[in-house]
Structure 1
Amino acid sequence: MKKVNVIWIVLMACAMMITPIFGQSRAKKNKIIADSKMAKVEFIKTDPLMKGLFDKAYGYVIFPNVGKAGFGIGGASGNGAVYERNTLMGIAKLSQLSIGFQAGAQAYREVIFFETEADMERFKSSQLEFAAQVSAVAVTEGASANVKYAEGVMVFTMQKGGLMYEASVGGQQFKFSKL
C-alpha cells in the first residue's frame, strides 16, 4: 500500500512539473506572491542575518512551496516570485528531476540570491540550471553568516514537512515569466 502511495506522489510531482506557469490565473499568481512574502518573513525569522542578503542582493527568487517526491526516480516542482532590486518583476517555475536511491516525499522553501545583473539576466533568460554539484544551505540561525556566492548565485532551503531518504543526482531547471 505504501509503495502505491509513493508512486502516486511521484506521478503527481511529474504532472506538476509539466504544468505551464504561463497560463496561470491572476488569483494563482497573487497567491504565489503572497506565499513568497510570507516565506521571506520565515527565512529572516529563522536567520535574522538573511535580511542583509535580501537587502544587498541584485535580485532573488523565492519558491515558497516546493514539493518533492521520489522512489528511484524523483521529481520536484514549485512556483515562486522574482524580485530585482527588491521590486517584484516576475514569476518563476522550478522543475527538478533526479535518479538514484530515494524514497519519500517532502515540502520545502527555496530562495536563490543573484549577485549581479548578469547573474539575474541568466536566470530570466531561463539559462540557469543547477546540477548535482550545486549545494543549498539549510537555513538555521546564523547559517548565512559565512556563505558566499558561487558562480553568482547563493541558494538556501528551509524544510517544511515530510521525510525523504536520498542519495541521488539530478538538477533543477527554471522558467521565468514577466508580470
Structure 2
Amino acid sequence: MTAFSRRRFLAAASAPLALAACGNGVGSPGGEMIDARVDAAIAFMEDTLPETRDLRARSAGMLMMPLMTEAGLGIGGAFGRGALRVDGVTVDYYSATAASVGLQIGAQQYAHALFFMTPAALSNFRQSPGWVAGADLEYAASSNARAFTTDTTSLTTPVVAVIFGQAGLLAGATIEGQKYNRIIP
C-alpha cells in the first residue's frame, strides 16, 4: 500500500467517526446541557408518540439519548450522550457508541429511548461496566409519524427501544450492538 493510498484509507475510515461526534455536546457545560436536551426529547417524543407516556409510566427507568449522530461510508459510526432517569430524576449520564462496516453511505441524526420494563433489567444495565444492546431488546414500532404500537409482549420484555425524530439520509436506524457507558459530564 503506498503512502498516498494509506492516507486516503485513513481519511475515509476516520471521517465517519469524526462526523459522529459532531453536535452531541462533547465539551458542553456538562449535566445541565444533557438534562435540557433530555427534557426536550421527552417532550417531543410524548407529543409525537403519546402512547410512550404509558410506556414511561410502566417502566422501572428510562435512558433517553436525545441526539445520536450516525455517519457511514463503508465504515460507519454513531455517538450520543444522554441520561438515565428513574422516577423522573436523572441518576446517571451515559454515552452510546457504535461502529459498523458494510454497504452504507450517508449521515443521520435521531433520538432514542430505552425503557427498562423490569427492575432486574434496570439493575443489570446500571451494574454493567458497558452494556451492549442485544437479545433482551424489543423495538416498539412507529408505522407513521403519529402511530405507535406496543403489544403485551413488548410490555413484558426487559427493555423496549423507541427510535424517533430521524433526520438525514442513511438507510435505517438501529441501536442493536450499541454500547452504553456511564460518563461523568
More moved, 137-146 vs 73-82: 137-146
Alpha carbons 2:136, 2:159 under 8 Å: kept: no
Q: Output the CA distance in 1 between the equivalents of 2:44 and 2:125.
A: 24
Q: Output the CA distance in 2 between the equivalents of 1:133 and 1:153.
A: 6
* Higher Cα radius of gyration: 2
Unpaired segments ≥5 residues, structure 1? none
What amino acid is aligned across from residue 103 of structure 1 in structure 2? I
Q: Output the CA distance in 2 between the equivalents of 1:170 and 1:56.
A: 23
Q: State yes or no: 1:152 paired with 2:155.
A: no
Which residue does 2:34 correspond to in 1?
32
Counterparts of 1:3-152 in structure 2 under 5 Å?
9-13=15-19, 16=21, 27-126=29-128, 127-131=130-134, 136-137=139-140, 139=142, 140-146=145-151, 148-149=154-155, 151-152=157-158
Percent identity between matched residues is 24
TM-score, length basis structure 2: 0.76
Q: What CA RMSD, in Å, does the superposition of the two structures yield over aligned residues?
A: 3.3
- Per-residue displacement from partner, 1:19-54 (whole Å, max 9, x unpaired)? xx8xx66x2221111100110011111111111111
- Are residues 129 and 79 of structure 1, via their aligned partners in 2, closer, same or farther at CA, if it must alter by over 3 Å? same
Q: Output the CA distance in 2 between the equivalents of 1:50 and 1:168.
A: 18
Alpha carbons 1:60, 1:111 under 8 Å: kept: yes
Greater relative CO (CA pairs within 8 A, separation 6+) = 1
Alpha carbons 2:136, 2:158 under 8 Å: kept: no
TM-score, length basis structure 1: 0.78
What amino acid is aligned across from residue 164 of structure 1 in structure 2? L
How far is 1:155 from its partner?
0.2
